[in-house]
């Protein structure tokens, strides 16, 4: 990978950029300005979700930019209360309407269960996945996948469905690398993506991350993002300033040495959001 526009190839042959722009809380001013700035900064992969309430802002930013739809990779996710066969199809239709498009490049189930007490989550996941399979076969979405699914959740789909998830989007950053899930996905040909790829302030201020930032003459954020790139994980950073947006793309003029990658791999748990799919 030499730039954010270089692509991985998903298991079904669809090409997906190696870095995207995350839109969670990217429109807190209730307008499309920040997302339009990301378009102008060069991002062409935008990750959104019904829960983020940024889909309409993504559509507005892209329309005003003049960038052609086929030159953009659009991904969205259904929320916990949109799961189920009919509900998922209805949620997808609402997402298309808000994004002002007639297809998505990627559509994900946001979480594997509505809450920790939901006993029959396996059947709910299968009903929801059946709707995504149908949308995929109809050509309404080019690739389908999951988010925050652990191996036990994905196994349920693999054993009882006909289309394998092509993507799993999880929390991933130094200090919370989710080794079991990453290794499981990569061994099954499922592309891993990272939400919160820079962790939180505790990660960016961590002594090791700061040490490596100084060593490689880059920012702490760039260390975290480069770590994901070298692990074969797609980071989805969010930034609200043009300078940060451009800095977060500058990941390809340096490489983290293997010894330092091992040090990042083995950091104590740091900066975890506290969110767990089963709790």
Q: Alpha-carbon distance 160 to 130, whole Å?
A: 10
Handedness of CA 105, 108, 38, 32 (dihedral sign): positive
Which residues have C-beta within 8 Å of that of residue 172, sequence separation ≥ 6? Answer: 178, 182, 192, 193, 194, 195, 196, 197, 228, 231, 233, 235
Q: Which of 43, 52, 57, 184 is catalytic?
A: 52
Q: Is 184 assigned a catalytic role? A: no
Kindly list the catalytic residues: 52
């Amino acid at each position: 990978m030499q730039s954010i526009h270089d692509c991985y190839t998903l298991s079904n042959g669809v090409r997906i950029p190696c870095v995207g722009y995350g839109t969670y809380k990217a429109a807190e001013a209730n307008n499309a300005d920040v997302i339009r700035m990301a378009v102008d900064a060069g991002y062409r992969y935008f990750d959104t979700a019904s829960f983020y309430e940024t889909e309409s802002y993504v559509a507005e930013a892209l329309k005003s930019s003049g960038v052609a739809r086929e030159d953009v990779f659009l991904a969205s996710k259904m929320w916990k209360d949109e799961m189920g066969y009919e509900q998922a199809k209805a949620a997808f239709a609402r997402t298309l309407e808000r994004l002002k498009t007639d297809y998505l490049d990627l559509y994900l189930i946001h979480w594997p269960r509505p809450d920790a007490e939901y006993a029959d989550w396996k059947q709910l996941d299968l009903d929801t996945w059946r709707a995504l399979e149908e949308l995929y076969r109809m050509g309404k979405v080019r690739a389908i996948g999951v988010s925050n699914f652990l191996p036990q959740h994905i196994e349920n789909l693999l054993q009882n469905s006909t289309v394998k998830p092509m993507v799993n989007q999880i929390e991933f950053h130094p200090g919370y690398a989710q080794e079991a899930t990453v290794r499981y996905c990569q061994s099954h040909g499922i592309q891993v993506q990272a939400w919160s790829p820079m962790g939180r302030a505790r990660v960016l201020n961590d002594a090791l991350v700061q040490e490596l930032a100084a060593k490689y003459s880059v920012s702490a954020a760039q260390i975290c993002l480069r770590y994901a790139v070298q692990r074969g994980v797609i980071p989805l950073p969010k930034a609200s300033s043009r300078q940060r947006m451009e800095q977060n793309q500058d990941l390809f003029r340096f490489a983290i040495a293997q010894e330092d990658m091992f040090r990042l791999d083995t950091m104590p748990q740091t900066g975890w959001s506290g969110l767990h799919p089963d709790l």
